[in-house]
């Protein structure tokens, strides 16, 4: 009797734990699914989290191997008679007692220490292996302020360049693509197919394949080292035209005809009627344009040859060699570069994923 009721409660607990939204029991395939997803969580997310944590470590903490999980900083103490603050250590004496001493210097496997509470007692020699540093968790936000200080106004220059390219290129893309899409969706005219095909054919031409001539045309326009040299080659995205045209085809032609009856000009029909109605598609095109312009690398690398025209991405890549030893600065810069898009992603995830799913295009 009791046994039966026990097993009944057991059942209900396991039922509760494995309860799912729809009918069906928790099978082995579900177990595998969750195991895979949790593994994915670690592999996908841990590296980025690690960079953020590392960017908050002090240079001494970064130099440690194996690395510590959390950012630590050594406790220091100012002792009379010494200019620099001294690092604190917990030292286990021969009698097994632990004393807290400040290290003056290390000599081989021995360390010269002094008792901060009683500096008159003099220096003591302590074997290194008996001393462990006194540490506490410490977030070294000074890495970020140092980054701003050491790069001076350059960093803002890079941020401005990246923002300028992203915003201007996206606005031009939106206007040009939607104008073309309007023409290709709301008019019947000779040559419309030729125009559509020649725009879409550029999908087949990878940007890297035409790198040399693109550079030549940019140079011919006098735009090498100029932000416009990166903006202009990227604005005529075939995918933008395609997406907007497909969307505009769903807007009834009667709206256009009714506006013509009211003597609205073609341009007015375009920007007062069609453009506002296409805002969902415009948002998708805008997001993709922002993403790819902000992250762009090869074209800026080739075109933006002067230091003051560098984008954030170029500066970050060049920091890698320049600040090769100053990892804390590089990590702070990496985090800062990734931050704007990480924030945008939280708000726009659904837009981005539906955009990709519906077009298969980035």
Least CB distance to other proteins at residue 237 (A): 9
Q: Give the three-state DSSP class for 65.
A: coil
Whether the CB-CB separation of 87 and 101 falls below 8 Å is answered with: no
Cα separation, 192 vs 195, whole angstroms: 5
Cα separation, 241 vs 171, whole angstroms: 14
Whether the CB-CB separation of 244 and 359 falls below 8 Å is answered with: no
Least CB distance to other proteins at residue 14 (A): 16
In the bound state with other proteins, the residue whose beta carbon lies nearer, of 20 and 80, is 20
| 306: phi then psi, degrees, rounded to nearest 5 | -90, 140
- Measured CA to CA in angstroms, residue 212 lies from 209, 219, 298, 302 at distances of 8, 10, 12, 9
Q: Give the three-state DSSP class for 335.
A: helix
Least CB distance to other proteins at residue 92 (A): 23
- Both structure tokens of 297: 């690398």
In the bound state with other proteins, the residue whose beta carbon lies nearer, of 53 and 111, is 53
Q: What are residue 86's DSSP bridge partners?
A: 77
Least CB distance to other proteins at residue 323 (A): 11
- Measured CA to CA in angstroms, residue 28 lies from 18, 19, 31 at distances of 12, 14, 5
Least CB distance to other proteins at residue 142 (A): 19
In the bound state with other proteins, the residue whose beta carbon lies nearer, of 157 and 238, is 238
Least CB distance to other proteins at residue 121 (A): 38
Least CB distance to other proteins at residue 161 (A): 14
Cα separation, 289 vs 294, whole angstroms: 8
**How long, in residues, is the chain?**
362
- Which of 338, 319, 305 is CA-nearest to residue 150? 319
Q: How far is CA 297 from the centre of its chain?
A: 14
In the bound state with other proteins, the residue whose beta carbon lies nearer, of 234 and 309, is 234
Least CB distance to other proteins at residue 106 (A): 20
Whether the CB-CB separation of 111 and 128 falls below 8 Å is answered with: yes
In the bound state with other proteins, the residue whose beta carbon lies nearer, of 246 and 295, is 295
Least CB distance to other proteins at residue 194 (A): 10
Cα separation, 6 vs 12, whole angstroms: 10
Cα separation, 136 vs 208, whole angstroms: 50
Whether the CB-CB separation of 98 and 88 falls below 8 Å is answered with: no
In the bound state with other proteins, the residue whose beta carbon lies nearer, of 28 and 118, is 28
For residue 171, what are the contacts with CB-CB under 8 A and spacing of at least 6?
none
In the bound state with other proteins, the residue whose beta carbon lies nearer, of 156 and 267, is 267
In the bound state with other proteins, the residue whose beta carbon lies nearer, of 113 and 331, is 331
In the bound state with other proteins, the residue whose beta carbon lies nearer, of 22 and 136, is 22
């Amino acid at each position: 009797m009791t046994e039966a009721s026990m097993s009944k409660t057991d059942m209900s607990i396991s039922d509760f734990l494995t309860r799912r939204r729809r009918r069906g029991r928790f099978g082995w395939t579900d177990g595998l699914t969750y195991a895979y997803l949790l593994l994915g969580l670690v592999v996908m997310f841990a590296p980025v989290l690690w960079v953020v944590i590392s960017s908050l470590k002090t240079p001494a903490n970064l130099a440690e191997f194996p690395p510590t999980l959390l950012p630590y900083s050594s406790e220091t103490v100012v002792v009379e008679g010494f200019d620099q603050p001294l690092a604190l250590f917990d030292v286990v004496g021969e009698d097994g007692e632990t004393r807290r001493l400040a290290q003056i210097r290390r000599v081989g496997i021995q360390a010269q220490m002094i008792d901060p509470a009683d500096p008159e007692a003099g220096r003591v020699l302590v074997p290194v292996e008996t001393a462990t540093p006194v540490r506490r968790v410490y977030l070294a936000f000074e890495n970020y302020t140092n980054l701003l200080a050491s790069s001076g106004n350059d960093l803002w220059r890079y941020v401005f360049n990246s923002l300028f390219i992203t915003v201007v290129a996206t606005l031009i893309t939106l206007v040009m693509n939607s104008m073309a899409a309007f023409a290709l969706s709301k008019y019947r005219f000779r040559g419309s197919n030729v125009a559509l095909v020649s725009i879409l054919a550029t999908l087949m031409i990878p940007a890297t394949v035409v790198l040399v001539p693109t550079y030549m045309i940019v140079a011919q326009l006098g735009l090498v080292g100029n932000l416009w040299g990166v903006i202009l080659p990227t604005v005529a995205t075939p995918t933008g035209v395609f997406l907007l045209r497909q969307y505009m085809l769903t807007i009834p032609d009667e709206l256009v005809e009714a506006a013509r009856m009211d003597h609205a000009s073609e341009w007015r029909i375009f920007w007062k009627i069609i453009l506002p109605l296409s805002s969902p598609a415009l948002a998708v095109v805008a997001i993709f344009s922002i993403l790819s312009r902000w992250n762009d690398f090869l074209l800026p690398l080739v075109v933006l040859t002067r230091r003051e025209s560098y984008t954030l991405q170029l500066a970050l890549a060049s920091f890698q060699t320049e600040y090769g030893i100053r990892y804390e600065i590089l990590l702070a810069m990496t985090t800062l570069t990734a931050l704007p898009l990480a924030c945008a992603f939280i708000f726009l995830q659904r837009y981005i994923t539906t955009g990709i799913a519906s077009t298969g295009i980035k």
